[in-house]
A = this chain, B = another copy of it.
Amino acid sequence: MKLPKGKRLTKQRKVILEALKGVKTHPTADEVYDMVRKSLPKISLGTVYRNLDILCEMGLIQKLDIAGRQKRFDGNPKPHCHVRCIECGRVCDVDYEPSIELKSKNFSGFKVLGYSFDFFGICPECQLALDGDSDM
Protein backbone atom coordinates (compact mmCIF):
# COMPACT_ATOMS: atom_id res chain seq x y z
CA MET A 1 0.00 0.00 0.00
CA LYS A 2 1.45 3.36 -0.99
CA LEU A 3 0.98 6.11 1.55
CA PRO A 4 0.74 9.84 0.92
CA LYS A 5 3.65 11.86 2.22
CA GLY A 6 3.62 12.29 5.96
CA LYS A 7 1.10 9.50 6.52
CA ARG A 8 2.05 6.43 8.54
CA LEU A 9 0.76 2.91 8.43
CA THR A 10 -0.32 2.35 12.01
CA LYS A 11 -1.85 -0.82 13.34
CA GLN A 12 -5.14 1.02 13.90
CA ARG A 13 -5.25 2.35 10.35
CA LYS A 14 -4.51 -1.06 8.88
CA VAL A 15 -7.12 -2.85 10.99
CA ILE A 16 -9.81 -0.28 10.13
CA LEU A 17 -9.10 -0.60 6.42
CA GLU A 18 -9.12 -4.40 6.53
CA ALA A 19 -12.35 -4.42 8.53
CA LEU A 20 -14.06 -2.24 5.95
CA LYS A 21 -12.64 -4.13 2.98
CA GLY A 22 -13.70 -7.45 4.49
CA VAL A 23 -17.36 -6.60 4.67
CA LYS A 24 -20.07 -6.01 2.08
CA THR A 25 -22.17 -3.84 4.40
CA HIS A 26 -21.71 -0.10 4.66
CA PRO A 27 -21.10 0.44 8.35
CA THR A 28 -21.35 3.65 10.34
CA ALA A 29 -18.32 4.90 12.25
CA ASP A 30 -19.46 3.33 15.49
CA GLU A 31 -20.16 0.03 13.75
CA VAL A 32 -16.56 0.11 12.47
CA TYR A 33 -15.54 0.93 16.04
CA ASP A 34 -17.28 -2.22 17.30
CA MET A 35 -15.69 -4.29 14.53
CA VAL A 36 -12.12 -3.21 15.20
CA ARG A 37 -12.41 -3.33 18.98
CA LYS A 38 -12.35 -7.12 18.71
CA SER A 39 -8.69 -6.99 17.73
CA LEU A 40 -7.83 -3.58 19.23
CA PRO A 41 -9.81 -3.29 22.48
CA LYS A 42 -8.14 -0.02 23.47
CA ILE A 43 -8.88 1.89 20.25
CA SER A 44 -10.93 5.05 20.64
CA LEU A 45 -13.89 6.20 18.59
CA GLY A 46 -12.03 9.40 17.79
CA THR A 47 -9.23 7.40 16.19
CA VAL A 48 -11.78 5.52 14.11
CA TYR A 49 -13.27 8.78 12.85
CA ARG A 50 -9.84 10.26 12.11
CA ASN A 51 -8.68 7.21 10.20
CA LEU A 52 -11.87 6.82 8.21
CA ASP A 53 -11.40 10.38 6.99
CA ILE A 54 -7.75 9.78 6.17
CA LEU A 55 -8.56 6.57 4.28
CA CYS A 56 -11.11 8.58 2.28
CA GLU A 57 -8.48 11.19 1.43
CA MET A 58 -6.20 8.36 0.35
CA GLY A 59 -8.93 7.15 -1.99
CA LEU A 60 -9.03 3.67 -0.45
CA ILE A 61 -12.60 3.91 0.84
CA GLN A 62 -15.49 6.35 0.47
CA LYS A 63 -17.85 8.17 2.77
CA LEU A 64 -21.41 7.83 1.51
CA ASP A 65 -23.48 10.97 0.99
CA ILE A 66 -26.70 9.15 1.71
CA ALA A 67 -29.60 10.01 3.99
CA GLY A 68 -29.62 9.10 7.65
CA ARG A 69 -28.22 10.76 10.74
CA GLN A 70 -24.96 8.83 10.76
CA LYS A 71 -22.55 8.73 7.83
CA ARG A 72 -21.74 5.33 6.33
CA PHE A 73 -18.48 4.07 4.89
CA ASP A 74 -17.86 1.87 1.87
CA GLY A 75 -14.75 -0.25 1.38
CA ASN A 76 -15.22 0.17 -2.36
CA PRO A 77 -14.03 3.66 -3.35
CA LYS A 78 -15.48 3.45 -6.88
CA PRO A 79 -18.74 5.41 -7.27
CA HIS A 80 -21.76 3.15 -7.51
CA CYS A 81 -25.46 3.12 -6.64
CA HIS A 82 -26.96 2.06 -3.32
CA VAL A 83 -30.35 1.24 -1.84
CA ARG A 84 -31.13 2.49 1.63
CA CYS A 85 -33.79 1.07 3.95
CA ILE A 86 -35.93 3.90 5.29
CA GLU A 87 -36.83 1.75 8.31
CA CYS A 88 -33.48 0.53 9.63
CA GLY A 89 -30.97 2.58 7.63
CA ARG A 90 -29.24 -0.47 6.14
CA VAL A 91 -27.45 0.29 2.87
CA CYS A 92 -26.77 -2.24 0.10
CA ASP A 93 -25.08 -2.06 -3.26
CA VAL A 94 -27.29 -2.02 -6.34
CA ASP A 95 -26.53 -3.49 -9.72
CA TYR A 96 -27.59 -0.42 -11.64
CA GLU A 97 -25.71 1.89 -13.94
CA PRO A 98 -27.64 5.09 -14.69
CA SER A 99 -27.53 6.36 -18.24
CA ILE A 100 -26.79 10.03 -17.92
CA GLU A 101 -27.33 12.33 -20.87
CA LEU A 102 -26.28 15.74 -19.70
CA LYS A 103 -26.42 17.52 -23.03
CA SER A 104 -28.22 20.86 -23.09
CA LYS A 105 -29.24 20.74 -19.45
CA ASN A 106 -29.52 23.78 -17.22
CA PHE A 107 -27.09 23.43 -14.32
CA SER A 108 -27.34 27.08 -13.21
CA GLY A 109 -23.73 27.75 -14.15
CA PHE A 110 -22.32 25.01 -11.94
CA LYS A 111 -19.19 23.13 -12.97
CA VAL A 112 -20.56 19.61 -12.55
CA LEU A 113 -18.08 17.13 -11.09
CA GLY A 114 -20.27 14.09 -10.51
CA TYR A 115 -23.55 12.80 -9.24
CA SER A 116 -25.01 10.43 -6.70
CA PHE A 117 -27.92 8.20 -7.60
CA ASP A 118 -29.41 6.26 -4.72
CA PHE A 119 -32.60 4.35 -4.18
CA PHE A 120 -34.61 4.02 -1.02
CA GLY A 121 -37.15 1.47 0.11
CA ILE A 122 -37.70 -1.35 2.59
CA CYS A 123 -35.13 -4.07 3.10
CA PRO A 124 -36.16 -7.74 3.25
CA GLU A 125 -35.79 -7.93 7.04
CA CYS A 126 -37.96 -4.87 7.64
CA GLN A 127 -40.57 -6.11 5.16
CA LEU A 128 -40.89 -9.25 7.30
CA ALA A 129 -41.01 -7.24 10.51
CA LEU A 130 -43.70 -4.92 9.10
CA ASP A 131 -45.79 -7.83 7.81
CA GLY A 132 -45.53 -9.42 11.22
CA ASP A 133 -46.80 -6.23 12.82
CA SER A 134 -49.84 -6.01 10.56
CA ASP A 135 -50.85 -9.56 11.49
CA MET A 136 -51.14 -8.69 15.15
Contacts and interface: CB of A to CB of B under 8 A. Distances in A.
Interface of A: 65-67, 83, 85-86, 92-96, 98-102, 105-124, 127
A1 to B, nearest CB: 27
A85 B116 CA distance: 13
A121 B117 contact: no
Contacts of A107: 83, 92, 94, 119, 121
Contacts of A66: 65
What 7 A-B pairs have minimum CB-CB distances, sorted nearest first?
A65-B67, A109-B124, A95-B106, A112-B121, A92-B108, A113-B121, A110-B121
A111 B94 contact: no
B98 A117 contact: yes
Contact of A122 (B96, B102, B111, B123): B111
B120 A117 contact: no
Contacts of A67: 65, 116
Nearest to A124: B109
Given A65-B67, A117-B117, A122 B110 contact: yes
A84 to B, nearest CB: 9
8 contacts: A83-B107, A83-B112, A94-B105, A98-B98, A109-B123, A109-B127, A112-B119, A114-B120
